[in-house]
Amino acid sequence: MDGKQPPTIDSKFRLVLLAATRAEQIMRGARPKVEAGKKKSVRVAMDEISHQLVDWGYGPPPQEEPPAEEAKSEEEQPVASGVH
């Protein structure tokens, strides 16, 4: 790898996390997606990432929270009692 991160990776921190996760998978027996030879698992993982062979994603988008005013008005609703 030439020191540059692939355009699909948004930060160096994410690159390190992705490489570490993939290297662990390789150490546990996952098949490398590039020619491994006698390279260490981290080097193989970095090569896979540089060739954009490792898919990753952020996961589902976060759920929107209701604005503070709506949440407050719901809390202020009187609770109906069973006593008449």
Give me the number of domains the chain comprises.
1
Closest among 56, 55, 49 to 1, alpha carbons compared: 49
Report yes or no on 65 lying in a domain. no
Domain that holds residue 46: 12-58
Residue 22's CB: how many other CB atoms inside 10 A? 23
Residue 64 lies in a domain: no
User: Is position 49 within any domain?
Assistant: yes
The pLDDT assigned to 63 comes to: 76
Q: pLDDT of the chain along its 84 residues, tens only?
A: 455 667 777 888 989 999 999 999 999 999 999 998 999 999 999 999 999 898 877 666 667 777 766 555 555 655 655 555
